[in-house]
Chain A
Amino acid sequence: MSFGDTVIAVLNGLPVSALRSATPLLFVTLGETLTQRVGIINLGVEGQMLVGAITGFAVTITFGNPWMGLLLGGVAGLVLSSIHAFLCLACGSSQIASGIGVWILGSGLSAFFGRAFVGEKIEQGFRTLDLPRLALVPVLGPLITEMTPVIGIAIILSPLLGLWLYRSPTGLTWRAVGESTTVSRAMGINSLWIQCQGIMAGGFLSGIGGAALSVDYTLTWAEGMTVGRGLVAVGLVIVARWNPYLVMPVALLFGGSEALALRLQAAGAPISPYLMGTLPYLVALVVLVINYGQVRQTGGMPEGLRSVFSHTV
């Protein structure tokens, strides 16, 4: 195989695999963006993703319905995140500690209930668009034919949430709460309830993200299969500057570099696979540096997040 062939082989399916690998991340990052927008940081997303992934996988295997798996995966994430909501909002515990607690709890629970499902494979996943004629169109062809409904939802969700956050009255309330709970309370907003909603919305979306991973992407379950994607999402929220519109390109960039690393490896590029695995993280770091070089400030961080770190734990 000549070098040219290799390049073509690597690049040809890249857009599709980038999209596929970005989809779970897109859900989770959007969810965490919402949570952080109301002034709460939730490090438990990793655990919520895992719980979502195993729930989604188990439901899909048992009932043969991937839609149900996706939905219940989201619900599982929501339930787990409500522990975070209870600990931070009702008990006033440290958000960092509570988040880490939720994370560890989630990975433990998912490992425990997942033992029965190791080695199984989903036969009836989401169906892709079956249009053989479209597949012949060069770049767009494989993109459209391999598109699953989950990917479609993820793509639509990003601008939809952006529109909601920046243009709707409820979105405005959420942003106000994230900036200052005292001021919003003075305006008659129930800031505690909004923050609770923010955490649960984040939990639901991270659960869906986890389910998308197991039900739509890998079609299998493995313990700890998210391999840090939840924490990556927390980072990507910062890269996307708490802006749902920007979450899409950021997640795609990350997913794209992940897919690129995998494809380079498959094509036999003479680089250590371990080194290659760091590519997405390097890209994210570079984006962060460039990004902040330009903004030179907090880059749109909700003011309320500051208090997470300024109060002594």
Chain B
Amino acid sequence: MRDPKRQSIVQLQGISKRFGALIANDQVSLDIAPGEVLALLGENGAGKSTLMKILYGFYQADAGRILIEGQPVTIDSPHTAMRLGIAMVFQQFSLIENLTVAENLMLASAKAPRGVWVNRTHWVKSHSRLSELAPSIQPTNLIRNLAVGEKQLVELVKALDADARVVILDEPTSVLTPIETQRFWMLIRQLADQGHAVVFITHKLEDVRACADCTAVMRKGRVVDMSPARDRTAKELVYMMVGRENLAIVNPVPPSPAYPRLQIQNLSADSDASSRSSASTIRNVNLAIAAGEIVGIAGVAGNGQQLFADVLAGLLPSVQGTMLLDGTLLHRAGKSSRQDIAYIPEQPLQNGVAAELDLVANLWAKKIGKMAFFPLRAKQRTHAARLIHAFDVQPPDPTLKAVNLSGGNLQKLVLARELSDSPSLIIACYPTMGLDIAATQFVYEKLFQHAQSRACIVWISESLDDLLQYSHRIAVLFRGEVVGVVETSTANRHQLGQWMTGGREVA
């Protein structure tokens, strides 16, 4: 697969880049070949994204050069990169939500016709790769009505419509559901087989297993290893990424005496499409959680998990049913939310922080009910600095606005605020989304610590692997109902899969 005579399409030679005191890339060299999927691995902040953003013209390298088909080139803007056939798909999509798929594709394409009477659907069907790559997406759909995975496909189509030969994907699977992820891997293979060069930035090893030809591991701004994917075991890759041989994999401690601390009885609720999640409903949910127990809520996205979490956290009202914590009502109408509930919502930027406020204010937000009339800024600052250090939020500058943090660090910020006190109930929606291996382990460690100090933990996740490894019990939500609850020790994947798809056989 990887012979020395292999023709590279892009060569990066001795690329260096520093941001102030931080050396993001240090003398990095990398070859990208057509027809190959290159997995660029590394922890958060290893410099993978920076390197690719240099190739995409987003940043300029301080030293080093870029060769395309052997010719040195200067890439001074994304525009130039696109002209050279390099496209990058970011985690934050550059699609316009209120326009249709067809309109977005036409906007991005220089070849789009200019007449008033052009049939846009027809144009997209005949001139865009949409129908080839994503036949199920209707060109007349509005982008905002698409699922995350579909948006990503449209992004990819946009890149390919612009005749991209090199496609860079920035952690594409971190936002996808398991099923979407599998489809995405197939698509990536298909692109490589057509002769495209694909660079897949990721920190998930399953991505590598599924579709990479070649792996490059970055650590602290350097490429520490580059080899064919089949030559490296998962363990070796983790070691090279983290730089430690054995990352202590934590394991949950069994819950203390099995009397229920949190009791959810006959809980039903509805949310309509006008609230932030799409229309959903939960029906007659019964669940009892012991002190120190971690209950995983599994299910395909959109089966009421979001609503369940919101109701539990007291953000949305329930239609009927009771939620009792230690025998008292969890939420009472008109009461301000309880201090001892930790809520880690999905999409922290929208739901978990005040984006335009600084980290100090965001970290203090939970204590706002107890705040003095003339609050002491210095006190808040030390509090913030301590949490930022403890949860390793990068960059560690408390005066930064929350909106300026990257996805993973934003997640850490929310975790820092929610998990720092001693909550009696933790509601965690995808708490490890966007985090690297070390940070993920840290989150689990924190959850286990709280479990040991008798907190009840409701953990919503789509990854069965994680749920099976780290939770005590798993409840499956399907169309708003709990269709099954099982002890993790006796759970089997097949059964869970069946519940998740409503009893139908899993394909």
Binding site for B on A (CB under 8 A): 163-164, 167-169, 172-173, 175-176, 179-180, 182-184, 186-189, 296-297, 300, 302-303, 310, 312
Contacts and interface: CB of A to CB of B under 8 A. Distances in A.
Nearest to B82: A188
Nearest to A163: B116
Which of B106, B107, B274, B356 lies at the interface centre, i.e. has the most chain A CB atoms within 10 A of its CB?
B107
A184 B95 CA distance: 9
Contact of A164 (B95, B98, B116): B116
A164 B103 CA distance: 14
B274 A176 contact: no
Given A180-B96, A186-B94, A188-B79, A173 B274 contact: no
A300 B106 CA distance: 21
Contacts of A167: 116-118
A223 B107 CA distance: 46
B63 to A, nearest CB: 27
B99 A176 contact: yes
A187 B108 contact: yes
Which of B96, B99, B103, B116 lies at the interface centre, i.e. has the most chain A CB atoms within 10 A of its CB?
B96
A167 B99 CA distance: 12
B494 interface: no
Contact of A183 (B96, B112, B117, B118): B96
A169 B99 contact: no
A86 to B, nearest CB: 27
29 contacts: A163-B116, A164-B116, A167-B118, A168-B114, A168-B116, A169-B112, A169-B113, A172-B103, A172-B106, A175-B96, A175-B99, A176-B99, A179-B98, A180-B96, A183-B95, A183-B96, A184-B96, A184-B107, A186-B78, A186-B94, A187-B94, A187-B107, A188-B79, A296-B274, A297-B274, A300-B98, A302-B98, A303-B98, A312-B356
Nearest to B144: A303
A311 to B, nearest CB: 8
Which of B79, B95, B98, B274 lies at the interface centre, i.e. has the most chain A CB atoms within 10 A of its CB?
B98
Closest A-B pairs by Cβ, 3 of them: A179-B96, A167-B116, A183-B94
B119 to A, nearest CB: 10
B404 to A, nearest CB: 15
Given A175-B103, A300-B98, 9 more contacts: A169-B106, A172-B107, A175-B99, A179-B96, A179-B97, A179-B99, A183-B95, A296-B273, A312-B356
Contacts of B274: 296-297
Nearest to A297: B274
Give the interface residue-count category, chain B: 20 to 34
A297 B99 CA distance: 16
A312 B355 CA distance: 13
Interface string B99-110: 100010011100
A184 B104 CA distance: 10
A297 B369 CA distance: 32
A184 to B, nearest CB: 8
A22 B386 CA distance: 64
Contacts of B79: 188
Contacts of A173: 107
A172 B118 CA distance: 13
A172 B96 CA distance: 11
A180 B96 CA distance: 7
Nearest to B77: A188
Nearest to B78: A186
Contact of B114 (A169, A183, A302, A303): A169
A167 B114 CA distance: 9
Contacts of A175: 96, 98-99, 103
A170 to B, nearest CB: 9
Contacts of A180: 96
A164 B114 CA distance: 11
Contacts of B116: 163-164, 167-168
Interface in B404-427: none
Interface string B60-88: 00000000000000000011000000000
Contacts of B117: 167
A302 B97 CA distance: 10
Contacts of B112: 169
A171 to B, nearest CB: 9
Contacts of A164: 116
Nearest to A188: B79
Which of A179, A187, A188, A303 lies at the interface centre, i.e. has the most chain B CB atoms within 10 A of its CB?
A187
Contacts of B97: 179, 303
A296 B273 CA distance: 9
B276 to A, nearest CB: 12
A172 B104 CA distance: 9
Nearest to B106: A172
Contacts of B78: 186
Contacts of A302: 98
